[in-house]
Chain A
């Protein structure tokens, strides 16, 4: 029972980690809470769903389409809504309000155009499961977990082994100094949003397969913010660890205490973390500058 709960928690935590990575990546560069990230995840899920059910494509093509589509949406989002503010050096709070606006706009745009139906992905993975030390893990969860792990490792390699990755890491410490050293900031911000969008696409498809696809599914993505806060806002390893911890804790709470209390627990957890440990487990807490 204990091991089973742990495995279920781990598989949910993998998806939370995927969501939190994209969110944290943006936070580490621009230092604001991108509430539109959840909506991009939702759009990724829709793209993945329509590819797989209308064009009878395989999961691989659906995943790829969701990644590309969500990345394009993220890029449009940043260049239309955020860049004017960034160029004006607006305070992070303004960017946050803008991201709220983008999220409301896109979510309700889907409502009025696509409708409020709940779509479920066709059954790609038969309801089979793999046995693992006496506990069961469904094939979908196992695949999602492995794929998340590969994607996050890929991102890690990109950030540590390429020139652009180094520039991104430099900018997360100090944007001004990085741009003085010849980093093209607008291009860097674009790349960061493309990466965040790509992760949103993957997370969206897995969320859609696991639950369903509907306009307010971005609601689940508030878990991404919680995971990022636990791990430390702006820290990528923190986002992964925070996501996994949140997934496991939530599963334990819903199994051993009550599933009703689960969401109250997560939302209280974020407040407790912000008050006691605003830097999270691995992040750095920056006071508001004068």
Chain B
């Protein structure tokens, strides 16, 4: 039982980070290969605050979010301002992610590659549940807001939306800051769940897992990535496979999805009971290709 609750906690934490990334990658259409860095920044900021300075947990989480958001502005301002092409931007974030990890490995306050052991265990399942529901609800509202609409327009056609008067830089920046803050929150929760963090946890493997979940779930869907990341974590736990096979499968999933179903599990749709009704034969009425968001 304890074990199942633990897996659920990890799923909840990863949902927060994935939902954040889906705003940036799925809805704004920019690829990041370094989002683990935002989780790392949030995790280290929150952990250092509670560990060395006895700051209350909630304030530490908030500080982690703010720190991630601030760093995302530092990296986002020059790269998004330069309107880099999608793949150039991805290379820049790859460099950013690696640079953050190397810096964390060499700072004295983060205790380098040894990591921070003995962080207090504040992240319980109810805490994770509350936060992930809150983040999913906020993200839903964000996507349905004016900014979210603008972001979708930018994803669909950057030039046309710029013509229509949307400030590309501003929209992309807001998405980046939002996703970085989500990553920071997830990182802070993660640190206080595992009670131990080290820079090696936040490698490009984690970034890839998040990106793979967004791509597999469907770029342009909120529920798709949530389903995908839950499966990514739950299925290997159920099957009890070694960690390395899990990564082999992630790689394969990315390739197969790009070849056979580039729109992901859910495509542009959201999970709803209407779709279930359509899948179950005989109850097809009422669903006529409702295009979600």
Contact = CB atoms under 8 A, between A and B. Distances in A.
Interface of A: 32-33, 81, 84-85, 90, 92-98, 100-109, 111-112, 222, 225-226, 229, 233, 260, 263-264, 266-268, 270-271, 274-275, 278, 286-288, 290
Contacts of B252: 101, 105
21 contacts: A33-B87, A90-B262, A93-B86, A100-B33, A100-B251, A100-B254, A101-B258, A103-B251, A104-B205, A104-B248, A105-B251, A105-B254, A108-B251, A266-B95, A270-B91, A271-B78, A271-B79, A274-B92, A278-B88, A288-B158, A290-B159
Task: With a 10 A CB-CB cut-off, give which of B208, B242, B251 has the most chain A CB atoms.
Answer: B251
Nearest to B34: A267
9 closest cross-chain pairs (CB), A and B = A101-B254, A105-B251, A104-B251, A267-B95, A267-B99, A101-B255, A108-B247, A270-B95, A98-B258
B259 A85 contact: yes
Contacts of A263: 98-99, 102
Given A112-B245, A267-B96, A275-B79, A96 B90 contact: yes
B255 A278 contact: no
A267 B93 CA distance: 10
Q: Would you call the interface of chain A mostly helix, strand, loop, or mixed?
A: helix
A266 B255 CA distance: 29
Nearest to A265: B99
Given A263-B102, A287-B85, 7 more contacts: A92-B86, A101-B251, A104-B247, A106-B251, A274-B79, A274-B92, A275-B84
Q: B interface, how many residues as a size bin? A: 35 or more
B90 A33 contact: yes
B99 A274 contact: no
A109 B75 CA distance: 33
Interface in B101-117: 102-103, 106
Interface in B242-286: 242, 244-245, 247-248, 250-255, 258-259, 262
Contacts of B244: 108, 111-112
A32 B102 contact: no
Contact of B255 (A102, A225, A274): A102
B87 A93 contact: yes
Contacts of B95: 222, 226, 266-268, 270-271
Contacts of B82: 274-275, 278
Contacts of A278: 82, 84-85, 88
Q: Is the interface of B mostly helix, strand, loop or mixed?
A: helix
B215 interface: yes
A71 B119 CA distance: 49
A260 B99 CA distance: 11
A266 B259 CA distance: 34
A81 B98 contact: no
Contacts of B254: 97-98, 100-101, 104-105
B71 interface: no
A266 B96 CA distance: 10
Contact of A96 (B31, B102, B251, B253): B31
A97 B215 contact: yes
A162 B98 CA distance: 41
Interface string B156-173: 011100000000000000
Contacts of A103: 251
B158 to A, nearest CB: 7
Contacts of B247: 104, 107-108, 111
Given A93-B87, A268-B99, A270-B91, A260 B106 contact: yes
B161 to A, nearest CB: 12
B121 to A, nearest CB: 31
Interface in B25-41: 31, 33
Contacts of A270: 91-92, 95
A108 B91 contact: no
B94 interface: yes
Contacts of A102: 251, 255
